[in-house]
Amino acid sequence: MGRHSAKHVRQLRSSETQTGQPDRTPGTAQPDPVVARAVDLTKTYGGGDSQVVALDHVNVEFARGAMTAIMGPSGSGKSTLMHCMAGLDTPTSGQVFVEGLEVSAMGQKQLTNLRRQQIGFIFQSFNLVPTLSAEENILLPLQIAGKPIDRAWFNQVVHVVGLEQRLTHRPSQLSGGQQQRVACARAMMARPSVIFADEPTGNLDSRSSREVLGFLKQSVREYGQSIVMVTHDPRAASYADRVLVLADGRITRDLNHPSYDDILEVFAGEGDEDGDYAA
Partner 1 sequence: MIRIGLRDARSHFRRFAMSIIAIALGVAFVVGSFCFREMMNNQVSEMMATNSDHDVYVRGSDEVTDDDSSDGGSSDTGQSDSGATEYNTISIDLTDAISKVDGVEDASVTYSVSGVVLVDANGDAVATMGSPTMATGFSADHPWRSATFTSGTYPTADDEIALHSFAAEKSGLKVGDKAKVVYSDGPKDVTVTGIFATDATQAGAIVIGVTPSVAKHYSDLTNDEPDKTGRIGVYGSANGGKPLTDAQQTELADRINAALPADAHAHAITGDAYRDEATKSTQDALGFVQPLILIFAVIALFVGSFIIANTFSMIVRESMRGYALLRSIGASPMQVFSTVIVQAVLLGLVGSGLGIGLGWGMVELIVAVMAYMGTPLSGAIAPSATDMIAGLIVGLVVTLVGASLPARRAAFAPPIQAMNETVNPEKPVAPRGVAGAVLCVLGAATWLWTARIALADGDPTSIDALNRFAAWTGTGWPLGVGAGLLVIGVIMLGPALVGPAGVVLGWIPSHVFPVTGRLASRNLARSKRRTANTAAALFVGIAIVSCLGVVASSAKASVASIVDTGLKADFAVFSASSGQIPEGAEQAIRDVDGLKSVSANRFILGAKFDGERVQGMTFAAQDTLFTDVFAPEAKAGNADEALRGGQLVVGQTIAEDRGWNVGDKVRVTTENTVVDEDATAKAQADYQASIQAQIATLQTQLQRQTAARDIAGAQDTAAKIQQVTDDAKNVDPASFVKTKTVKVDKELTVGAIISNNVYRTCVIMNDELGDELGTKQTMFTTMMYLVAEPGQDVNDLQERLKDAVKSYYVVSVMNRDEYKSTMSSMVDQILLILYALLALSIVIAIFGIVNTLALSVSERTREIGLLRAIGTSRGQVRGMLGIEAAIISVFGTLLGLAVGVAAGVVIRAVYASQGLEVLSIPWDQIGAFLILSILVGLIASVSPASRALKQPVLDAVSSE
What does the chain come to in residues?
279
Nearer to partner 1, 51 or 74 (CB): 74
DSSP state of 225: -
Q: Does 168 bind partner 1 (CB under 8 A)?
A: no
- Specify which residues 53 forms β-bridges with: 44
Strand 250-256 vs strand 242-247: parallel, antiparallel, or unpaired?
antiparallel
Q: φ and ψ at 33, to 5 degrees?
A: -70, -15
Taking CB under 8 A as the criterion, which residues in 171-200 touch partner 1? 186, 190, 198-199
CA neighbours closer than 13 Å in the CB half-sphere of residue 273? 8
Nearer to partner 1, 130 or 271 (CB): 130
- Write down the least CB distance from residue 227 to partner 1, Å: 16
Q: Does 149 bind partner 1 (CB under 8 A)?
A: no
Rg (CA), the chain: 18
- Write down the least CB distance from residue 140 to partner 1, Å: 7
CA neighbours closer than 13 Å in the CB half-sphere of residue 1? 26
Taking CB under 8 A as the criterion, which residues in 115-144 touch partner 1? 115-116, 120-121, 123-132, 136, 140-141, 143-144
> What is the Cα–Cα distance from 134 to 143, expressed in whole angstroms?
14
- Write down the least CB distance from residue 116 to partner 1, Å: 4
Expressed in angstroms, the distance from the first to the final Cα of the chain is 38
**# of chain residues touching partner 1 (CB under 8 A):** 33
> What is the Cα–Cα distance from 215 to 195, expressed in whole angstroms?
13
Taking CB under 8 A as the criterion, which residues in 80-119 touch partner 1? 83, 88-89, 108-109, 112-113, 115-116
Q: Do residues 278 and 234 touch, judged by C-beta distance below 8 A?
A: yes
Name which position in 105, 145, 149, 278 contacts partner 1 (CB under 8 A). Answer: 145
Nearer to partner 1, 9 or 129 (CB): 129
- Write down the least CB distance from residue 161 to partner 1, Å: 17
Name the strand (E) or helix (H) holding 67.
strand 67-71
Nearer to partner 1, 30 or 74 (CB): 74
Q: Do residues 15 and 24 touch, judged by C-beta distance below 8 A?
A: no
- Write down the least CB distance from residue 247 to partner 1, Å: 19
- Write down the least CB distance from residue 138 to partner 1, Å: 11
Sheet with 119-122, strands from edge to edge, namely: 119-122, 194-198, 226-230, 67-71, 242-247, 250-256
Nearer to partner 1, 35 or 183 (CB): 183
List residues near partner 1 by CB under 8 A: 79, 83, 88-89, 108-109, 112-113, 115-116, 120-121, 123-132, 136, 140-141, 143-145, 186, 190, 198-199, 202
